[in-house]
Homo-oligomer: A and B are copies of this chain.
């Protein structure tokens, strides 16, 4: 497959994720073909892009970036000859993606990368009807919202060509993203599994009455969560061991084994009943919070944080 630069991208589906990708691609100076069959999708997208452009100006626009470089089309079929890559953001349903990718594979030139934003469905589950070139299909799962958060999980299926995986990694990197290569099609990929591990222990502790939901959140936001934008699990462990991962695990790690055993004994089981009980504790707090203010202040501090972090070359 040729590795000429990617200049024109198609975005299929303009929900929260598709709109955000469109904004990012435009800010990075790409041309974007956008399609979404939902009534009013075009107007909604146009208004949102206009409203959010100021955020991208703050972060920094590519030289040739313009809010005018996109075209909303009725039917993507007429435009696949013009694009280098298709980023799909349809519903999270295997049957839907299976039909859509079979169709995109049939009509697109063979070197167009076909990438799904799916947050948890491995692409091997929806490539069986791709008769032309299933080797250019893979997952590029962003972290919401893609125009702000750098993470993209690149997940090939066993038949994905290595050159396509590399090209996708290179493409996302060229946009200033932090792509990671997931080497096996694990359910939930990596980021969502890590989130779920944390969340399920949180659900367990609050369900058992060990701590209130609000105070549990504080243990993260005022404790270990303050480090996690800066150093991940392994670097945090290694720093705790004076540069040696093994040192930390042999000391603190071993003495923490009984904690882990106790956590497994009390593992949370998500059922309609357990959700009812948990939701009561959580919502009795959340209902008294000004959610709009939390969102505004979160976004403000997040931008400050990413700006501060961008000056620290050793932090990922």
Contact = CB atoms under 8 A, between A and B. Distances in A.
Interface of A: 92, 120, 143, 149-151, 153, 178, 180-184, 186-188, 190-203, 205-206, 208-235, 237-239, 243-246, 249-250, 253-260, 262-264, 267, 270, 275, 278-279, 282-283, 285-286, 289-291, 293-295, 297-298, 300-302, 304-306, 308-309, 312-316
Given A196-B259, A263-B196, A305-B308, A291 B239 contact: yes
Nearest to A267: B264
Contact of A221 (B193, B232, B308): B232
A217 B235 contact: yes
A228 to B, nearest CB: 3
25 contacts: A150-B223, A178-B222, A181-B212, A186-B262, A188-B256, A188-B263, A190-B210, A197-B263, A202-B232, A202-B233, A217-B232, A217-B233, A217-B234, A220-B233, A221-B231, A225-B229, A230-B297, A230-B302, A235-B294, A245-B279, A298-B315, A301-B308, A301-B309, A305-B308, A308-B308
Number of identical protomers: 2
Contacts of A191: 219-220, 223-224
Contact of A180 (B153, B211, B244, B291): B211
B275 A250 contact: yes
Contacts of A304: 304-305, 308
B153 A219 contact: yes
A149 B181 contact: no
A234 B153 CA distance: 24
B198 A210 contact: no
Given A239-B291, A295-B239, A195 B224 contact: yes
A245 B254 CA distance: 35
Contact of A219 (B180, B291, B301): B180
A190 B219 contact: yes
Contacts of A230: 221, 297-298, 301-302
B302 A92 contact: no
A202 to B, nearest CB: 4
B195 A197 contact: no
A286 B243 contact: yes
Contacts of A219: 151, 153, 180, 190-191, 194, 232
Contacts of A316: 214, 217-218, 221-222
Contacts of A216: 180, 190, 194, 232-234
The 10 closest A-B pairs by CB, nearest first: A217-B232, A188-B259, A225-B228, A151-B223, A297-B312, A197-B201, A180-B215, A304-B308, A178-B222, A150-B222
B181 A211 contact: yes
